Amino acid sequence: MNSDEIRIDEKACDDVIKDLKAVGEKVKETYNLIHLSNRHIEDGIKGSAVDSITTEYNKIVKMVKEMQDNMGNDVAAVNNIVSSFDAEDKMIKTKFYR
């Protein structure tokens, strides 16, 4: 590899992609739970399902928390990638201006 080339942390990129896909799946699951909760609310208005609404709501809260945690991990991974780019850029500029 030429010393002036920027190295890409492929594992970090793969990890970010994997985490983003996982977040996407959690979003789909959350959407489905919200849809199901809305149906339970409609049933509740008709006179049933308060316990089901609470259970579904608690599942949604848990899933949103997991999504927030995953996004925090993704942000950290992206920051690591950006830091490596910044370090490479600084090194290249230092060599260029000598």
Q: What is the DSSP string of 78-94?
A: HHHHHHHHHHHHHHHHH
pLDDT winner (highest mean) among 15-24, 52-61, 77-86, 89-98: 15-24
Q: Nearest to residue 33, comparing CAs of 66, 7, 5?
A: 66
As a whole number of angstroms, the distance between CA 74 and CA 81 comes to 11
Chain CA centroid to CA 73, Å? 7
Q: How confident is the model at residue 51 (pLDDT cuts 50, 70, 90)?
A: low
What domains appear along the chain, each with residue ranges and CATH number? 10-96 (1.20.58)
Q: How confident is the model at residue 98 (pLDDT cuts 50, 70, 90)?
A: low
Residue predicted with more confidence, 93 or 5: 93
User: What letter represents residue 89's amino acid?
Assistant: D
pLDDT of residue 59: 83
Q: How confident is the model at residue 49 (pLDDT cuts 50, 70, 90)?
A: low
